[in-house]
A = this chain, B = another copy of it.
Amino acid sequence: MINPQTLKGFRDFLPQEARKRQFVINTLKSVFELYGFEPLETPALEYEEILAGKYGDEGDQLMYRFIDRGGRKIAMRYDQTVPLARVVAQYQNASTGSAQSLPMPFKRYQIQSVWRAENTQKGRYREFLQCDADIVGVDSKLADAETIATAAKGLETLGFNNFTIYINDRRVFSELTANNLITEEEMRVAVVAIDKLKKIGELGVIDELNSKGLSVGRAREILRLIKEREKTDVIRDIDSYLDSLPELKKKCKFDPTLARGLNYYTGVIFEIEVEGYSAGSVCGGGRYDNLIGMFTNLQIPAVGFAFGFDRLIEAMDELNLFPSEIALSTTQVLVSVFAEELKNKSLEIVTKLRDENIPSEMYLGEIKEKNPLEKQLKYADQKQIPYVVILGPDEAEKNILTLKDLNTREQTQMTLDEIVKKFKV
C-alpha cells in the first residue's frame, strides 16, 4: 500500500483553507483591476537558461531543474519577475494592436505558484503563491507613488487599518559611496546587516559588521552616516504626489535604514508592516530599472511590489480579519431528504433555489429510516451550512416547508417562495 502523503514543504488546501485563499486572491485582484493592472499568466516551466543565473548562487541552488524526455534543460518558475522580463522582451516589439502586443506602460499583476527547494521551517514552503503587481516602461515618480497607493489599498480592502509604509531610496546608499564616505565594500556588508535592523537591533547590526571585519567604531560610524541621511530628491517628488493622497501619506515614513535584500533595486524601495503582526513585513517592493531589459539590449524601467501571500493569511488569521467561516462558506441551504419517495420533491426545491441563484445543496447520502435527519444536520454543521430545509411527511401533506436555523436551532414553517425571498439578495 502506498502511503498517502505530500512532499515536505508542499501543502494541500482543504475547503476551509482554500476558501480563505480565494477570498484574499479575489480581493487583491479586484484592487489590482481597480488600479488598472491587467492579468498575466506565464508557464510553470521555462527553458533553464531563461531562469538560471538570475537569482544569484542561492537561486541556482534552490531552483527545481531537470532534463525533459526531449533532452531540454527545464526549470520551474522561481519568481514572477524574470518571466515578466521574458514576456516584455518576447512581445514588446510585436506590431501594435495585434493580440500579442503589450501596451506601454505595461501594468500587470500575476498571482501564480512558484517553487523553491528551501529548507522548510515555520512559514516557509517549497510551493507558495506569489502575488505581484508591476508597472513596466516608465521611469516616473508618479508610477512609484501609484505602486505604493495600490499596495496600501490592497491591505485596506483586506481589512488592515493600522500599518506603516517604510520608504527609502537606494540612492541613500549609492550617494554615500559616491561621496567616498563609505567604501563600496563596506556598503555591501552594511546593506545586508542593516536589512536586519528591526529584527536584531542596532547592537546586532554593529556586531554583524564587526564579525565581517569592520571595527566597532567604524561600524557605529557607518550606521550613523546612514541613519542621518535625509530624503533624496526622488523621495521628495513622491512626497509631493502623496500630498494629493493625505490619508496614504500619514501611513508613510521615510526610513534611511530600510535596505531590502535584493540587490536589483535601483531607486525607491518600500516595505509595509502591519501593527499587531510581528512576523515581518507583509508587502515589499521598489524600482528596478536594470532588470526587465535583461533579455533585450534596452534599458526598461520598472517599479512594482509583491504581497507575501502566506504572511497575509497568517496576519489576517491573527488579527481576525477573515469573515466568519459561515460567511466564507458559500452554501446557504441544505435541502434534506426525509425518505426515498420524497427525493424528487427535494430535488425540485433545490433546483428552484439554485435557479434563484441561492447556493444550496441536497443531501446525497443514504437515507436512514430511523432518524433520517440526524446525519444530515450533522453534515450541514460540518460544512458550515447555516440553514436546512426540511420536507417530511407532515410538511408534504400541508404543502409547506420547515426552515431550520442551525445557529439558533429554531424552526419556522414557510412556503418555498418565502424561503426564496429570505435568501435572495
Contact = CB atoms under 8 A, between A and B. Distances in A.
B96 A382 contact: yes
A326 interface: no
A84 B10 CA distance: 15
Interface stretch (A132-140, A173-181, A270-278): A132-140
Given A33-B331, A36-B331, A359-B34, A343 B103 contact: no
Given A104-B365, A364-B146, A117 B68 contact: yes
A288 interface: no
Contacts of A68: 64, 117
Contacts of A233: none
A343 B295 CA distance: 33
A86 B11 contact: no
Contacts of A321: none
A138 B81 CA distance: 45
B74 A7 contact: yes
Contact of A2 (B2, B50, B126): B50
Given A2-B295, A4-B89, A90-B5, A113 B331 contact: no
In the A-B complex, the 10 residue pairs with the smallest Cβ-Cβ separation, listed nearest first, are A36-B361, A66-B66, A15-B38, A10-B43, A4-B89, A18-B39, A13-B41, A33-B330, A4-B90, A4-B295
Nearest to A89: B4
A47 interface: yes
Interface string A129-168: 0000001011010110110010001000000000000000
A122 interface: no
Interface stretch (A218-226, A236-244, A401-409): A236-244
A27 interface: no
A14 B102 contact: yes
B359 A36 contact: yes
28 contacts: A4-B86, A4-B296, A7-B45, A7-B72, A10-B43, A10-B44, A12-B41, A14-B91, A14-B100, A15-B39, A15-B108, A18-B39, A18-B41, A34-B357, A36-B359, A44-B113, A66-B66, A69-B117, A96-B382, A101-B382, A104-B379, A137-B365, A138-B366, A140-B366, A142-B343, A143-B364, A240-B344, A244-B344
Contacts of A6: 42-43, 46, 90
A344 to B, nearest CB: 5
Contact of A354 (B13, B35, B108, B115): B35
A210 interface: no
Interface in A265-308: 295-297
A418 B169 CA distance: 39
Given A46-B7, A50-B2, A50-B4, A14 B364 contact: no
Given A45-B127, A103-B382, 8 more contacts: A2-B50, A36-B361, A44-B115, A103-B383, A142-B343, A244-B347, A244-B351, A245-B347
A66 to B, nearest CB: 3
Contacts of A50: 2, 4
Interface in A342-356: 343-345, 347-348, 351, 354
A50 B12 CA distance: 14
A99 interface: yes
Contacts of A2: 49-50, 295
A87 interface: yes
Given A1-B297, A2-B295, A5-B90, A142 B22 contact: no
A14 to B, nearest CB: 6
Given A39-B18, A146-B362, A365-B105, A343 B89 contact: no
A66, A115, A126, A297 — most chain B CB neighbours (10 Å): A66
B36 A12 contact: no
A344 B297 contact: no
Interface string A95-126: 01101111111011000010101000000001
